[in-house]
Amino acid sequence: MAEKGSVGEGAMVETPEQKDVRKVCSDVLEGIKNFDVEVAKTAPWEDFQTMIKSNPALNAEKYTILSEDPYLGKDENKRQRFVGHDLHNLAGVMFAYQNLAIREVGNQKSQENIRRGLLKNWPRYSLILQDICLPGISRETVPEEYLGDFDSKATRSTLNLLVEGLEHKSKIKKETNRSYTHKRLDSDPVQHLVTEEGSKVYISVDLQRLEIIGEEVLLLNENEKTSVSTGVIINAISNITRNAVGEFPRLDEFGEQMYGEDGLPLERGAKNVILKISRETGESGEELVFRVIDDGKGMSAEYLNPQDENYIFQEGESHRSSSGLGLTNMPERMASMGVKLNVWTRERDTSERKRSFFSNEFVGDDREDNKSIKQKEGLAKIQKDIKSLEDELHFTPSTVFEIRIPITKLNNLEVD
């Protein structure tokens, strides 16, 4: 039974405020669904202005409700951090373009620059906003009316923007040969959890390799169909990737910054992070498979145990130095779309090299002897996949998140 005042399926009591949030979420999701990028590219300027002025997904008042209302999460401050963590900077850019667009801009070149800037950021903005709004409709599932074909074009754009941003942060650190920049990034206070020294900002991203492999397999054929929320899938991948590269410095159990013997803040990020996309044959037939592979510090078994207080998929517990909201209820939300989530990890900092395995179908640990046949088969398969990835990528993975999306083949009648 859902707790009193909970939002989503099975809720026994819903407050007036929660109803308002649900309405806002529904309106924003409808605005995302109805915004046609191809039409917006070529529409006369006046029509383009109308499109973006009237769209609820570009309504600053509705966005404020999402970022300030506690009913989308257990804790109001954390909810603000969640929306800020995923969307704050980008929303500012989108509203700036919108404000420019609805003014009287007589110069055609200026009009097209505004249009181009807004549409460039729309895919990433809309996918993240979609994922933020859906918990306002249902906390642990993705309702069927919000499922549809996987948006390959928006996915490519979003993932490439993500990589560009992370590489830029890593470049700052390498070029300055220090962990600080001298400009305080007030516009993005959550992405840059900082150790302050005057106006300095701590940059924890330090990458040797960040790469997307297999983008070409994203485009589905005419007779292929999926039934997922692209926003849920891609925002999950984005949060996993950002956690892997270590956008947040390492904190101790009391939430305080940890320092090394040299007096510098300890970093927890991986040096190598690969996002590998492939098409494979799985239990359900043809599958689109995303893997985020990193050589970071890995996780101990309790982080993948649903009964443990450190379980990474419960609100507030993904990592001591993050908001704990980006991965909340991810296994349940993936399963509600028929999507399989697997996680394999081993602790880099221990001599025992402890390994753990999670699936939203079952949970297992390879040191146990009492696993079911299905658990053993699942673990054996992913161990084989890990070995293959190690040979292919030329580094030893510490953690692999795997998302498997079923692809349905349509017959000729259905295509016609």
What the block records as the tokens of 131 is 């994922």
Contact present, 290 and 237 (Cβ < 8 Å): yes
335 vs 394: CA distance, rounded Å: 32
Per-residue pLDDT 10s for the chain (416 aa) are 333 344 444 444 667 767 777 888 899 999 998 999 999 999 999 999 999 988 999 887 777 777 665 445 444 444 444 555 556 667 778 888 888 888 776 788 888 999 999 998 898 889 888 888 888 788 889 999 999 999 998 898 888 888 887 777 666 555 554 444 433 334 433 333 333 333 444 455 667 788 899 998 888 888 899 999 999 999 899 889 888 886 555 555 555 656 656 565 555 578 888 999 999 988 778 999 999 999 888 888 888 888 888 888 886 544 444 445 568 889 999 999 999 999 998 887 665 667 788 888 776 554 455 567 777 777 777 778 888 888 888 888 889 999 999 999 887 545 44
Q: Which of 116, 87, 111 is nearest to 100 (CA)?
A: 111
Give, in words, the CATH class of 16-138: mainly alpha
Cα 81 to Cα 159, 179, 238, 322, 323: the distances in Å are 22, 23, 16, 9, 6
Rg, C-alpha atoms of the chain: 22
- Tens digits of per-residue pLDDT, 356-399? 888 887 765 544 555 677 777 777 777 788 888 888 888 888 89
> How close are the terminal C-alpha atoms of the chain, in Å?
44
What the block records as the tokens of 277 is 């996309």
Q: For the sheet containing 399-406, what is the strand order?
A: 209-213, 272-282, 285-294, 399-406, 340-346, 355-359, 363-364
Domain regions of the chain by residue span: 16-138, 146-415
As a CATH number, domain 146-415 is 3.30.565.10
Per-residue burial over 358-388, b = 16 or more CB atoms within 10 Å of its CB, e = otherwise = bbbeebbbbeeeebeeebeebbeebeebbee
